[in-house]
Chain A
Amino acid sequence: GAGVSQSPRYKVAKRGQDVALRCDPISGHVSLFWYQQALGQGPEFLTYFQNEAQLDKSGLPSDRFFAERPEGSVSTLKIQRTQQEDSAVYLCASSPNLAGGNSYEQYFGPGTRLTVT
């Protein structure tokens, strides 16, 4: 079946430009996560949605980063006034909510590689 998809796969932005990164989670998955992965490092948590509610945005590095999921499915991560340090791979993951369960895997998309020049 269809997995998590992200677009674009690659994005080059000039410093100061705004960018928008899209994530299409697996249909029916309630939870959606965004992670940032710098070169040579493991992914780092940015923000989490349960349906349309953003329940945790503690990992967003600055107020230039904004995420939304207005209808509880597709999510967009927006970065305003991009800086060189924003260059990274941005990963989206979704997860189902299973009543009565106590462990869940997250399904990751392929990521969007952002390069800020």
Chain B
Amino acid sequence: DAKTTQPPSMDCAEGRAANLPCNHSTISGNEYVYWYRQIHSQGPQYIIHGLKNNETNEMASLIITEDRKSSTLILPHATLRDTAVYYCIVRVAANFGNEKLTFGTGTRLTIIP
């Protein structure tokens, strides 16, 4: 799986948009970009994933550059409950649910009241 690079920490004011970057310059054509987050003392939680098109769901938006070498996770209106470690993961699509996740150290996002 491709290696990802994320800033170790970021702050964001409550109510503002949080933009979390991820570099994955060695991504292959059949690899997806996944985002998970881990709130303190909980297991990781899936947020969103994408291949090359921008994606949006009820939690966040994912913007992938045209060359697919980087992406940005956007939390449109950050709340205190969004304080967590955010992991960007690149992996081959799992056709049978058998693909392990390779986590890095992630970005620790702190939402400031």
User: Which residues of A does B touch, CB under 8 Å?
Assistant: 4, 30-31, 33, 35, 40-45, 48, 50, 55-56, 59, 91, 93, 95-98, 101-111
Closest chain B residue to A108, Cβ basis: B43
User: Are B43 and A93 touching (Cβ within 8 A)?
Assistant: yes
In the bound complex, residues from chain B placing their C-beta under 8 Å from that of A56 are: 98, 100
Q: A42-B87, A105-B46, A108-B43 are in contact. Are A55 and B98 (CB under 8 A)?
A: yes
Q: A42-B105, A104-B94 are in contact. Are A91 and B100 (CB under 8 A)?
A: no
Instruction: With A48-B98, A103-B94 given, name 20 new contacts (CB 8 A).
Output: A4-B43, A31-B96, A31-B98, A33-B100, A33-B101, A35-B103, A42-B104, A45-B101, A50-B97, A56-B98, A93-B44, A95-B94, A101-B95, A104-B97, A104-B99, A105-B49, A106-B44, A108-B42, A108-B44, A111-B43
Among A59, A93, A101, A108, max chain B CB count under 10 A is at A108
User: Which of B46, B87, B102 touches A45 (beta carbons < 8 Å)?
Assistant: B102
User: Are B43 and A103 touching (Cβ within 8 A)?
Assistant: no
Closest chain B residue to A113, Cβ basis: B41
User: Which of A50, A91, A96, A104 touches B43 (beta carbons < 8 Å)?
Assistant: A91
Q: How far is the CA of A110 from the CA of B43 in the complex (A)?
A: 5
Asked if B93 is an interface residue, CB under 8 A from chain A, the answer is: yes
User: Are A48 and B106 touching (Cβ within 8 A)?
Assistant: no
Q: List 12 A-B contacts (CB under 8 A).
A: A4-B43, A42-B104, A44-B103, A45-B102, A48-B98, A91-B43, A93-B101, A96-B97, A102-B94, A104-B94, A106-B101, A111-B43
In the bound complex, residues from chain A placing their C-beta under 8 Å from that of B100 are: 33, 45, 48, 56, 59
User: Are B106 and A110 touching (Cβ within 8 A)?
Assistant: no
Q: How far is the CA of A35 from the CA of B49 in the complex (A)?
A: 21
Asked if B45 is an interface residue, CB under 8 A from chain A, the answer is: yes
User: Are B41 and A97 touching (Cβ within 8 A)?
Assistant: no
Q: How far is the CA of A43 from the CA of B105 in the complex (A)?
A: 9
User: Which of B41, B45, B97 touches A98 (beta carbons < 8 Å)?
Assistant: B97
Closest chain A residue to B87, Cβ basis: A42
Interface bits B82-97 vs A (CB < 8 Å: 1, else 0): 0001010000011111
In the bound complex, residues from chain B placing their C-beta under 8 Å from that of A31 are: 96-98
